[in-house]
Amino acid sequence: MKEDTNTELYQNQQQQQPGSQQMCRTIQVVATVDHVDMSPPVFSPVMVAANTGDDLNLIPPLNFAMVDNGIFRSGFPDSANFSFLQTLNLRSIIYLCPEPYPEANTEFLKSNGIRLFQFGIEGYKEPFVNIPEDTIREALKVVLDARNHPVLIHCKRGKHRTGCLVGCLRKLQRWCLSSVFDEYQRFAAAKARVSDQRGEC
């Protein structure tokens, strides 16, 4: 099978008002192949043998967890996590930080045919700064679209920005607020922000 891989950058400019900021940047890897299987991925458990030197080391990113079938969350993955991420057969990554995606990570996406959706949400240390609702809404659309599954949602540490997006998903799944907040606090630990919890969709 012959593959020719190119990277294209798509700017999401859906009805933006003058002076508004770009909401989402998408990088898509376009590959020409003889046959593309568009069926939903089949998940199978990954067995890891005891570490005997030659064995593959599968290290999940910080704060990694399964959110739902085909939806995962974590902190920022680095090269030590790439082997683990390959076992997830990801189609998409939702990146919630404004900083450019590192070159090593971009190369990993290209070589594995993973599409990047970047929603640049600033990480504030101030306790009463709200996460932009429009941006969260657009990111939720990507999460809810099964064509993007399996998908990994991440920010820097997989706590606040990721927690807000997952919390909004949980509300759509009709979770009670106390369960949504419990999950948020489990990942945010002692740094849970009242403003993030108040702003849950």
Q: Is the pLDDT of residue 14 over 90?
A: no
Residue 120 counted as domain residue: yes
155 catalytically annotated: yes
Residue 3 counted as domain residue: no
**Confidence bin at 133 (pLDDT 50/70/90):** confident
Maximum mean pLDDT: which of 20-24, 26-30, 104-108, 179-183: 104-108
Residue 15 counted as domain residue: no
Q: Quick one: pLDDT at residue 184?
A: 87
Residue 34 counted as domain residue: no
Closest CA to 25 of 104, 111, 93, 124: 93
Q: How many domains does the chain have?
A: 1
Q: Is the pLDDT of residue 51 over 60?
A: no
Q: Token pair for residue 115? A: 């599409």
Maximum mean pLDDT: which of 94-98, 121-125, 131-135: 94-98
Q: Token pair for residue 41? A: 């991925």
Count other C-beta atoms under 10 Å from residue 148's C-beta. 19
Q: Quick one: pLDDT at residue 29?
A: 52
> What's the pTM value of the predicted model, to 2 decimals?
0.69
Here the CATH number for the domain that contains residue 92 is: 3.90.190.10
Q: Quick one: pLDDT at residue 101?
A: 92
For residue 55, what are the contacts with CB-CB under 8 A and spacing of at least 6?
Answer: 48, 49
Tell me the one-letter amino acid at 152: L
Domain boundaries, position 105: 58-197
Pairing mode, strands 65-68 and 71-74 = antiparallel
Q: Quick one: pLDDT at residue 141?
A: 95
Residue 191 counted as domain residue: yes
Q: Whole-angstrom Cα distance, residue 163 to residue 149? A: 19
Average pLDDT, stretch 132-160? 92
Q: Quick one: pLDDT at residue 34?
A: 42
Q: State the sign of the Cα–Cα–Cα–Cα dihedral 105, 108, 114, 115.
A: positive
Residue 21 counted as domain residue: no
Q: Quick one: pLDDT at residue 122?
A: 81
Q: Which of 24, 155, 164, 168 is catalytic?
A: 155
Residue 36 near residue 3 (C-beta atoms within 8 A): no
